[in-house]
Chain A
């Protein structure tokens, strides 16, 4: 079955760090652009960042709101990608989805930044 499964969400204090994981199955993630998208409670979708496919050397792009704080990486041996989130702010509270652009979304993992 083709799917994406995120994990690693939870409650973290402002200024803290968290690392999200996204495990791909049923396809080779390195062949695809993979994005992170988030959705704050009751709000719409917000693009967070991208890691391009292997052909494009896994180059990354980030939204202005997270640039310098968030880092996307991959581990091809685990068919997975990661979102390292540092210096977290309360406004980063959201469900985080990984996306095989544009076809497939994971179920999401909730990140709550609160003291």
Chain B
């Protein structure tokens, strides 16, 4: 049972916009930054969004993040086949630990 709650799966067709949610509590999302990671099959997680909505260099602007209260979301617009991957939300608490969502498997139909 993960501390952060994500839907186990999501899907969309090429060109569509897909949103993945991440729900937590006041002690994690409510008081810390949320980060999002993309994990392609057989590879390590890669940072997609940091500090709620910031994109690292090289991440397309098709990916965006937001946070409100104790929830966060990742939006992918202009869906592409190469976006098919597992997506994880994470909170790294500076004083204690890291917590993750259970992951969302995105399928591009």
- Chain A residues with CB under 8 Å of chain B are 33, 35, 37, 44-47, 50, 61, 63, 97, 99, 101-108
A33 to B98, CA, bound (A): 11
Chain A to chain B contacts (Cβ below 8 Å), 27 pairs: A33-B92, A33-B94, A37-B98, A37-B100, A44-B101, A45-B88, A45-B90, A45-B103, A47-B98, A47-B99, A50-B97, A61-B96, A97-B44, A97-B45, A101-B92, A101-B98, A102-B47, A102-B90, A102-B92, A103-B50, A104-B47, A105-B37, A105-B44, A105-B47, A106-B44, A107-B44, A108-B44
**Interface members, chain B 48-85 (any A CB < 8 Å):** 50, 56
Whether, in the assembled complex, B26 has its beta carbon less than 8 Å from a beta carbon of chain A, the answer is no
Interface residues on B, range: 20 to 34
A97 to B88, CA, bound (A): 15
- B100 and A35: CB pair below 8 A? no
Whether, in the assembled complex, B102 has its beta carbon less than 8 Å from a beta carbon of chain A, the answer is yes
- B46 and A102: CB pair below 8 A? no
Whether, in the assembled complex, B2 has its beta carbon less than 8 Å from a beta carbon of chain A, the answer is yes
Contact among B43, B50, B97, B102 for A102, CB-based, below 8 A: B50
